[in-house]
Amino acid sequence: MDFSNTSMTDLAAIIVRHLAELGIEVVLVGGLAVEIYSSNLYLTKDIDLVNTSYAPAKMLHRAMAELGYYK
């Protein structure tokens, strides 16, 4: 998948939705959460998610690989 023209907010939504479909619940934290909350007064270049379902790392790696991301 090519996400090069996808906004950070949209990309976070895609990732969160994909993980939720696999039963992995996450919460957006960090800079992107601040960026959204502050209406872009703060800008970031990463997406920080907390694994609130305590899914195993292997499950997360597999889920992210399905989107084209690898560790």
pLDDT, tens digit (0-9, with 9 covering 90-100), for 13-59: 999 999 999 999 999 999 999 999 999 999 999 999 999 999 999 99
Is residue 71 domain-resident?
no
Q: What is the pTM of this model?
A: 0.91
Domains contained in the chain, number? 1
pLDDT attached to residue 70: 85
Is residue 2 domain-resident?
no
Is residue 3 domain-resident?
no
| DSSP 8-state symbol, 23 | T
Q: Which domain holds residue 18?
A: 8-66
Contacts 24+ apart (CB under 8 A), 62-66: 63/18, 63/19, 63/22, 63/24, 64/15, 66/18
Is residue 44 domain-resident?
yes
